Amino acid sequence: MAHLRCDFFSEALGLSTSMTVVLPQRTTQQIGMAGAAGDAPPPVLYLLHGLSDDDTIWLRRTSIERYVAELGLAVVMPQVHRSFYLDGVYTGAYWTFVAEELPALVAGFFRVSRAREDTFVAGLSMGGYGAMLHALRQPERFAAAASLSGALDVGAWAEAGDPHGLLRTVAGGHSLAGTDADLLTLLDAADVAALPPLYVRCGTEDELVDANRRFVARAQAVGADVTSGFDPGTHEWGYWDRTIRDVLDWLPISPR
């Protein structure tokens, strides 16, 4: 795999930002790891970070590079700070950046597939919310979307008083419940036949487990294709390093 830290200017954000990228490389002499890459542009996974992290965190806390090497899968990890992947009143146009600007930049900078069947999104915690938000708002872009320990019910967060004030900061003092930033509201309004398959995983000792159960129940109620798993675990990297491997096994990656 090739590892790149890319610093660039975002027109959507009006500032310089960064993304971490791993690209497939065919290797035969690398000790302990074989790399795979085909002649066609590789499929790509947009892998989203959580609230307290940045674009480097997946490489620093998991073995994602090693896990994807034999799959021939490119991984793009953007920097979004504490934005919840939304266009915030005070935080910046991060939805526009990730949903519109970033794919065009990635296609311009790197040789990766732009086909829907080769494009996936996943994330943890805040990034799990971001992954589901992209799948529900842009189902035409993604072949699959996965959330690990995601913050999947912003309405319940608002009812709990938004303890950290994060969502109200993003929304300019308003509640996101019932808006197009509310995943349960988006599920109710979705053209279910157009949605990609969804994957939801959360530890049973995680404080977000009830929100994940509510999301799965609503997805099942509207007839969405959702795969879910609830097993022992908390909100920590040992759990995510283990379960991202299950996500990669689940993704419908076409053989190269």
Domain-embedded: residue 256: no
Give the N- to C-terminal CA distance of the chain in Å, as an integer: 16
Query: How much of the chain exceeds pLDDT 70, in percent?
Result: 95
Q: Is residue 20 domain-resident?
A: yes
Return all residues near 98 (Cβ < 8 A) that are at least 6 apart: 46, 48, 78, 80, 85, 130, 134
Using 50, 70 and 90 to split pLDDT, how confident is the model at 161?
low
- The answer to whether position 255 is within a domain reads no
Q: Is residue 16 a contact partner of residue 9, using CB atoms and an 8 Å limit?
A: yes
pLDDT score of 91 more than 90: no
Least confident of 89-93, 129-133, 230-234: 89-93
CATH of the domain at 110: 3.40.50.1820
> Where does the pLDDT of residue 25 fall: very low under 50, low under 70, confident under 90, or very high at 90 and above?
confident
Residue 70: domain span: 2-250
pLDDT tens digits for 214-236?
A: 999 999 999 999 999 999 999 99
Asked if residue 102 belongs to a domain, the reply is yes
Residue-wise pLDDT for 108-117, tens only, equals 999 999 999 9
Most confident stretch, 7-11, 151-155, 156-160:
7-11
Q: Is the CB of residue 89 less than 8 Å from the CB of residue 172?
A: yes
Mean of pLDDT values over 70-81: 96
Q: Is residue 222 part of a domain?
A: yes
Residue 33: per-residue pLDDT: 73
Q: How many domains does the chain have?
A: 1
198 assigned to some structural domain: yes
Asked if residue 139 is part of any domain, the answer here is: yes
Give domain status of residue 120, yes or no: yes
Mean pLDDT of the chain: 93
pTM here is 0.95
